[in-house]
């Protein structure tokens, strides 16, 4: 196994990444996925939401990372004698180019007197000029509530953020009875993943507009009828478009590729600030207890991009996210919207799936300390075969629709991918059924839109992302309806 960075050097490089040096997209290529195991085990490196290896046209695999110059030099040195692994940085990062989509200024929705309007009801070639700022995300929700009284409902979530902001959620399609809502989508958990809230807001805007006018929706080469629009709305949609407002405010003002929230209790400067919200959910959160010591599904270091916090659900944003399940107990399907990898991920994320041995499950203490080694036979996470079939069907259908929009490639795969994760929102959603008596079973997914490590899209990419994701949301929802909402 290659040597990891010493602890002091690791912290120094993490701080450098946020304070002094540009984070550069890096492509690491190898003949097999197994070649990446040592690299991914080093949680001082930034692999985005999850380390995902994509197959290449020449039969190899490619892993994306965001690294500083010092980290790139270290990586070159560690693998200089291994000719099977190549490390190549892109010429320019997105923050060094002038083509990235701008952030909106002011409030295009005038405090809610104007409703947002998506691309699915517009002529082909119509574009949106800028990414929503945090104020506009909130006023967009108000605008929809004002434009569709009795059909679209907004509400404030119960926990204010570390910096004192109130988070807003909404629901639409199934009336005022919150027990009738089956679909839950969230976005904006990782601050730097620009466009996630926009994708969700514009899709719901399209549904409401098409339902009112009696029309269908068109996203590139993919179209949906008005009957399909009504079917999706009738399933009941809950949306939490901006999970991490503190982080997004900071990222949009600093252009620093900021990922975490802005909690300073564990650190007050540089990269030591903040918690990775997508490692903070109550699913095998204490990874040092539940996982093999040879894997690092999260990090205990505040300077890591994957810092898991001080306890499961320690963060207000995580508590807000979880509170939605209590308000809407009938939720059956969940999707968390992220970028940037071009994938649809489905449970489980802690180990490889298996449907033969129910005893191998995340609640069984017999397997504590053994989980997460994806290439072994000691432990694999149990999933009932019917559930495995259902979630793969939905993921594959979502990917097919996103490809059909404009032939941009997407893949579906199990969340565990190259390496396990703990405390993630999608696994938390699925785990609730077994961990909390009396709650509904929820199928959890993560959508990673866009291109690998391209967190700051160009304006063209931003608009393509809206089309891709909105078709994906439609197909995911329609498949959910087909599989079952109860």
Helix 196-213 and helix 134-147: axis angle, to 10°? 10
Q: Which residues pair with 338 in a beta bridge?
A: 448
**Is the bond into 340 cis (omega within 30 degrees of 0)?**
yes
User: Residues with catalytic annotation?
Assistant: 448
d(CA 215, CA 209): 8
Residue 218: in which H helix or E strand, if any? strand 217-219
Q: Nearest to residue 344, comparing CAs of 400, 422, 268, 288?
A: 400
Q: Which residue has the tokens 């539940």?
A: 290
3-state percent breakdown (helix, strand, coil) of the chain, nearest 5: 35, 15, 50
Instruction: Answer yes or no: are the C-beta atoms of 208 and 154 closer than 8 Å.
Output: no
CA distances from 329 to 38, 154, 404, 425, 486 (A): 41, 17, 34, 17, 11
Count of beta carbons in the 10 Å neighbourhood of residue 472: 29
Count of beta carbons in the 10 Å neighbourhood of residue 47: 26
Count of beta carbons in the 10 Å neighbourhood of residue 4: 16
Residues 6+ apart with CB under 8 A from 242: 134, 137, 138, 167, 168, 187, 188, 197, 248
| E strand map for 317-400 | 333-339, 343-346, 353-354, 381-382
Q: Nearest to residue 240, comparing CAs of 323, 174, 119?
A: 323
d(CA 483, CA 473): 15
Q: And the tokens for 149?
A: 């009284």
CB neighbour class for 247 (10 Å; exposed up to 12, middle 13-18, buried from 19): buried
Q: Nearest to residue 228, comparing CAs of 219, 220, 240?
A: 219
Residues 6+ apart with CB under 8 A from 179: 328, 329, 330
Phi (first) and psi of residue 267, to 5 degrees: -175, 145
Using alpha carbons only, give the angle 318, 469, 140 rounded to the nearest 5 degrees.
65
């Amino acid at each position: 196994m290659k040597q990891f960075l010493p602890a002091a050097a690791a912290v120094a490089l993490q701080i450098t990444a946020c304070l002094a040096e540009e984070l550069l997209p890096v492509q690491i290529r190898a003949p097999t996925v197994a070649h990446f195991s040592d690299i991914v085990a080093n949680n001082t490196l930034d692999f985005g939401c999850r380390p995902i290896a994509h197959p290449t046209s020449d039969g190899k695999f490619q892993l994306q990372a965001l690294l500083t110059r010092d980290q790139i030099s270290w990586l070159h040195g560690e693998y200089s004698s291994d000719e099977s692994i190549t490390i190549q940085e892109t010429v320019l990062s997105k923050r060094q180019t002038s083509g990235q989509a701008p952030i909106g200024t002011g409030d295009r929705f005038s405090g809610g007197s104007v409703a947002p309007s998506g691309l699915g009801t517009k002529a082909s070639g119509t574009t949106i000029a800028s990414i929503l700022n945090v104020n506009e995300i909130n006023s967009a929700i108000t605008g929809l509530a004002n434009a569709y009284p009795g059909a679209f409902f907004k509400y404030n979530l119960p926990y204010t953020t570390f910096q004192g902001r109130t988070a807003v959620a909404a629901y639409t399609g199934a009336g005022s009875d919150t027990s009738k809502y089956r679909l839950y989508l969230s976005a904006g958990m990782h601050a730097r993943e620009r466009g996630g809230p926009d994708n969700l807001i514009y899709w719901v805007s399209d549904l409401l507009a098409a339902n009112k006018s009696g029309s269908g929706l068109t996203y590139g080469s993919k179209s949906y009828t008005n009957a399909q629009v009504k079917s999706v709305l009738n399933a009941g949609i809950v949306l939490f478009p901006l999970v991490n407002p503190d982080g997004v405010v900071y990222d949009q003002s600093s252009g620093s590729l900021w990922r975490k929230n802005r909690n300073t209790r564990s650190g007050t400067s540089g990269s030591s600030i903040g918690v990775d919200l997508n490692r903070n959910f109550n699913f095998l959160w204490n990874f040092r207890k539940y996982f093999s010591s040879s894997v690092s599904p999260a990090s205990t270091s505040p300077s890591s991009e994957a810092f898991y916090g001080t306890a499961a659900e320690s963060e207000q944003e995580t508590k807000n996210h979880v509170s939605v399940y209590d308000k809407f107990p009938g939720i059956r399907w969940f999707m968390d919207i992220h970028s940037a990898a071009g994938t649809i991920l489905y449970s489980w994320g802690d180990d490889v799936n298996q449907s033969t041995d129910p005893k191998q499950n995340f609640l069984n203490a017999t397997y504590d300390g053994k989980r997460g080694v994806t290439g072994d036979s000691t432990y694999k996470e149990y999933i009932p075969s019917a559930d495995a079939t259902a979630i793969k069907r939905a993921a594959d259908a979502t990917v097919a629709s996103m490809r059909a929009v404009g032939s941009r490639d997407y893949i579906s795969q199990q969340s565990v991918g190259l390496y396990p994760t703990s405390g993630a929102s999608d696994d938390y959603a699925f785990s609730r059924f077994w961990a909390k008596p009396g709650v509904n079973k929820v199928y959890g997914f993560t959508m990673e839109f866009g291109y690998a490590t391209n967190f700051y899209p160009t304006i063209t990419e931003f608009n393509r992302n809206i089309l891709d994701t909105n078709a994906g949301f439609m197909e995911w929802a329609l498949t959910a309806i087909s599989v079952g909402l109860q």
